[in-house]
Structure 1
Amino acid sequence: MSAALPQNPSRRSVLKGIGMAALAAGPLSACAFGSSDQPSTGGSTGEKSNTNPFGVVANAPLEIVIFKGGLGDAYATDVHEPLYKKAFPQAEIKHVPTQQIAQTLQPRFAGGNVPDMISNAGSDMMDNGALQSEGQLLDLSPLFAAPAIGGTGTVRDTLLPGVVEAGLIGDKPYLLKYIYTVYGLWYDSALFKAKGWEPAKDFAEFDALLGKIKAAGLQPYAYAGKNASYYQYWMIAISAAQIGGNQVLIDMDNLKEGVWTSDPVRKAAEAWASIGKKYLDPANEGLTHTEVQTAQNQGKIGFYPSGSWLENEQKEQTPAAFQYALAPTPSVTSSDKLPFGAVRAAAGESYIVPSKAKNSAGGLEYLRIMLSKDGARGFTEKTGNITVVKGAADGLKLSPGAQSSNDALNKAGDNIITYNLFEDWYKEFETELRSKTNALMFGRITADQFCKDVQAKADAVKADSSITKQNRTS
């Protein structure tokens, strides 16, 4: 979920645009997939076979929209699209890169003219829950049940555990979560080695280390308040899960009453608010992610919270001597349920196929190609990020950041903190959480007020009958 420009449409604004089309065309939710158990694809389909399980018409045009953020778009233009073209030489592929997904595509959904596959990511991503509730997303169950390319078994058999579940909305997989992302505190290991600094294991050590970094003339800790405040609420959620266990995040996703005012969340908010008070530069609230990240590459910032796409996103700005490394989030208390070294890691970055696409069969096949060994391996080579396909990166020489992420996963073992799905399910709530995170970190509200305000918003979303509710069990 790499950051983009700061347009953040609420769930209602997305629904407004989509709803106009619904009023004109009838209730989408009633006719999106037909009446069969397996969802129908939009547009024409040809003869189905083991090598063409969705019946892609060989000369049907294919339109792909790619969020061009931290991952760039070369993985699409240089790997996945050529693989599709090899399978269907007569097909014309239209490639659309953008950082403004919702701004670009909301009018098209409202007008019924949608692409065939979309990388729905960044801070201007569309609300997946709203799209699904309006019948605009194709159920990807046939994708995961289809034969794997170049192997035996199904596509699902080739994936890491939990990948299909990460894309559920309700009880069906409408999202392909493609990247296995690791989250934490990023730093320049070359700089730290030269200074004799070691990442901290708990917040007392973290405070002391940040003091040393500040004394050396650097900003000790920074994040971009203008468009990437969600990077910081991730850190609060990770700390809360360390204190109270992964059930805290499950309760957040399920809008459980009182979770945001619970002791683990309050303690996590207090710990991070103290870091903000002592070490954040107020000017960072008005900066974008690229501005802050580039300042770190210039040796001006110690720690920066992000996901493992960061290294690739900054490759053009990163000096040769800079060595990205990932530090796990420090423990908050001596009685944390999860040990130091626990990391948040999960399948991330959503790829979707619109149910009303002219060539949704082609969209499904494109995703199947992405999930092939060649498609996944090529993606890692282009982006430095590991995919959800088992063993696809085996034997590849990894970059320092990717290697550090892999090492952190190996050290974490079973102590993996799982994803916050409310980002996909309840965009209106997530947008409010960003605002409150900035208010907390830049000292405008206390940790208690943060917890009360966020819980109030979660309660309001839960009480809103117009919002489809989701449930996560693990």
Structure 2
Amino acid sequence: MTDIFTKSELDRRTLLRRAAAVGLLATPAVSMLSACVGGSDEGTQDQATGTKSADNPLGIDPKAGVEIVIFNGGLGTKYATDVDTPLFNKKWPEAKVTYSQTEEISTQIQPRINAGNPPDMINNSGSKLMDFGAIVKAGQAADLTDLFAAPSLDIAGKTVAETLVPGAVEQGTYDGKPFAVNYAYTVFGLWYNAALFKKNNWTPPATWAEFTALCDKIKAAGITPFGYAGANASYYMVRALLTSAGKIGTEQVLKDIDNLKEGAWTNDAVKQAAEAWAGIGKNYINKTFLGLRHTEVQLQQNQDKVAFYPCGSWLENEQAKDTPSGFEYAIAPYPSVTASDKLPATAINAAAGEIYFAAAKGKNPQGGKEYLRTMLSKEAALEFTKLTKSLTVVAGASDGVTISPGLTSANDAVAKAGKDVFMGYLFDTWYKKLDDESRAAANDLMFKDYDAAKFCERMEKASQAVAKDSAITKFTRS
């Protein structure tokens, strides 16, 4: 392991500066709210408040309890129980933090939001995350303007916003106001065991021809060349496919998809990416993976039964307990699909993500914001990285720290990509119906029919159905 944070910091800042330039200018197309999220004020509970001061900039009640719910996935939950909550109680010892975790956020939390009794701070993530665009439009997410304007807990002379990498606030902004903290900084690509590759003299591919040739060698060695879990992680495949489309035709391809532009899903870049990946599904994937969950396929990779796995940089931490000694996580960018791709083979998808928000109608929304302010302290961010092997949006929080092989590899990949790091797409958090359809369509493409044209036409139809549905609030990206 090597210390690479200092030399990569400029690259990380450059990346999120470019993410900020995306300009998430969300504009409501209609006034109707999603039927699944209650928007009325009936039954709103009394909310805890306190007196604002230099030491209490958000005006919380120092004795009021705070309820938080954390998604238990790739990042685990120890950062909340072992770091954030103790830090919060160090400053507010009389404020009891009630903690719970779940793998199904929408199942557990959506009914409480609808009933007007939500937790104060929620980590909205996972395969069953809630439709956050609908939550914002229903007035259920608290405006975080005061949080970002508040002073940092441990970086003197700076507001919370001023301690974050450029673009961090903008990525949680809707209709010109911030409603979410996108906390984790994630790098996406093809994950593999560097030790296995060294042993077999395999080199990660830069072109699609190299990719398929290597898959042939891996298959001949008795190892499944590529795999992902169809049961609950098909969105990993959606990101892989659309990252390839973005490399073929630039990020504008993905912006058009986000903006529901007619023909966005049937353009040549998406067609070429879908056709290339369909070939991987037809020839190099284990068909039983369609019914498996993510941890089951990831365990097979830890056992060197699967070579390449498409995922984000949370993978190393998620598999920590099952990763055998000598297994060395590493990441490779998705290889170029054509010789005329507009972005180079080194181009990579990385961005701030993992939504955390305060519930506007909770018992203690200001307490929820104060908990987020704790998370955005330098101390909390550093400990988060140590525990999860994932970076945060707190600028420089991990400088000078020696990190794991996987995260070192991810940072090196970002550094090599330079200006060719792109944020990706946003429709998956804006339009749940379209996200659900993309997951199902990706599974069919990779496990069943291998039909790129059918995939593109299916997604185009779904996209335009959303575009024409006046009950769905629209957002735009420039």
Comparing 174-183 with 411-420, greater Cα deviation is found at 411-420
CA offset digits 1:300-349 (Å, max 9, x no partner): 00000000000000000000110000011100111111111111000010
Among residues 79, 84, 87, which one is paired with 2:88 in the alignment? 84
Q: Which amino acid aligns with 1:52?
A: N
Corresponding position of 2:174: 169
- Given that residues 69 and 122 in structure 2 are in contact (C-alpha distance below 8 angstroms), is that contact kept between their aligned partners in structure 1? yes
Corresponding position of 1:404: 409
Separation in 2 of the partners of 1:457 and 1:168?
25
Q: Work out the percentage of aligned pairs sharing the same amino acid.
A: 52
RMSD: 1.5
Among residues 95, 107, 110, which one is paired with 1:106 in the alignment? 110
Corresponding position of 2:418: 413
- Given that residues 17 and 107 in structure 1 are in contact (C-alpha distance below 8 angstroms), is that contact kept between their aligned partners in structure 2? no
Corresponding position of 1:45: 49
Corresponding position of 1:266: 271
- Given that residues 281 and 450 in structure 2 are in contact (C-alpha distance below 8 angstroms), is that contact kept between their aligned partners in structure 1? no
Counterparts of residues 273-312 of structure 1 (less than 5 Å): 273-312=278-317
- Given that residues 169 and 425 in structure 1 are in contact (C-alpha distance below 8 angstroms), is that contact kept between their aligned partners in structure 2? no
Counterparts of residues 11-30 of structure 1 (less than 5 Å): 15-19=34-38, 22=39, 25=42
Separation in 2 of the partners of 1:458 and 1:89?
49
Separation in 2 of the partners of 1:48 and 1:188?
52
Deviation at 1:90, TM superposition (A): 0.6
Corresponding position of 2:150: 146
Corresponding position of 2:162: 157
Deviation at 1:15, TM superposition (A): 4.5
CA offset digits 1:141-200 (Å, max 9, x no partner): 221111122222211111112111111223222111001100000000001000000000
Comparing 50-59 with 67-76, greater Cα deviation is found at 50-59
Deviation at 1:102, TM superposition (A): 0.9
Q: Which amino acid aligns with 1:62?
A: V
Deviation at 1:411, TM superposition (A): 0.7
Among residues 434, 449, 452, which one is paired with 2:454 in the alignment? 449
**SS where residue 383 of structure 2 aligns?**
helix
CA 1:24–1:445 in 2, change beyond 3 Å: closer, same or farther?
Answer: farther
CA 1:23–1:348 in 2, change beyond 3 Å: closer, same or farther?
Answer: closer
- Given that residues 64 and 116 in structure 1 are in contact (C-alpha distance below 8 angstroms), is that contact kept between their aligned partners in structure 2? yes
Deviation at 1:42, TM superposition (A): 7.3
**SS where residue 97 of structure 1 aligns?**
strand
Corresponding position of 2:6: none
Q: Which amino acid aligns with 1:25?
A: E
Separation in 1 of the partners of 2:136 and 2:49?
23
- Give me the TM-score of the superposition, normalised by structure 1: 0.92
Deviation at 1:445, TM superposition (A): 5.0
- The reply to whether residue 358 of structure 1 matches residue 363 of structure 2 is yes
Corresponding position of 2:260: 255
CA 1:126–1:136 in 2, change beyond 3 Å: closer, same or farther?
Answer: same
- Given that residues 279 and 450 in structure 2 are in contact (C-alpha distance below 8 angstroms), is that contact kept between their aligned partners in structure 1? no
CA offset digits 1:229-250 (Å, max 9, x no partner): 0000101110011010111111
Q: How many residues align?
A: 445
- The reply to whether residue 368 of structure 1 matches residue 385 of structure 2 is no
Deviation at 1:128, TM superposition (A): 0.3
Q: Which amino acid aligns with 2:374?
A: I
Q: Which amino acid aligns with 1:51?
A: D
Among residues 130, 137, 142, which one is paired with 1:126 in the alignment? 130
- Given that residues 42 and 361 in structure 1 are in contact (C-alpha distance below 8 angstroms), is that contact kept between their aligned partners in structure 2? no
CA 1:196–1:42 in 2, change beyond 3 Å: closer, same or farther?
Answer: farther
Q: Which amino acid aligns with 1:372?
A: S
Deviation at 1:442, TM superposition (A): 1.5
Corresponding position of 1:61: 65
Separation in 2 of the partners of 1:130 and 1:418?
22
Comparing 394-403 with 442-451, greater Cα deviation is found at 442-451
Among residues 223, 248, 266, which one is paired with 1:243 in the alignment? 248
Deviation at 1:139, TM superposition (A): 1.4
Deviation at 1:295, TM superposition (A): 0.4
- The reply to whether residue 432 of structure 1 matches residue 419 of structure 2 is no
Deviation at 1:44, TM superposition (A): 2.3
Separation in 1 of the partners of 2:473 and 2:310?
31
Q: Which amino acid aligns with 1:97?
A: Q
**SS where residue 391 of structure 2 aligns?**
coil
Comparing 411-420 with 344-353, greater Cα deviation is found at 411-420
Separation in 2 of the partners of 1:98 and 1:414?
37
Q: Tell me, which stretches of 5 or more residues in structure 2 are unaligned?
A: 1-32
Q: Which has the higher contact order (CA 8 A, sep 6+)?
A: 2
**SS where residue 414 of structure 1 aligns?**
helix
- Give me the TM-score of the superposition, normalised by structure 2: 0.91
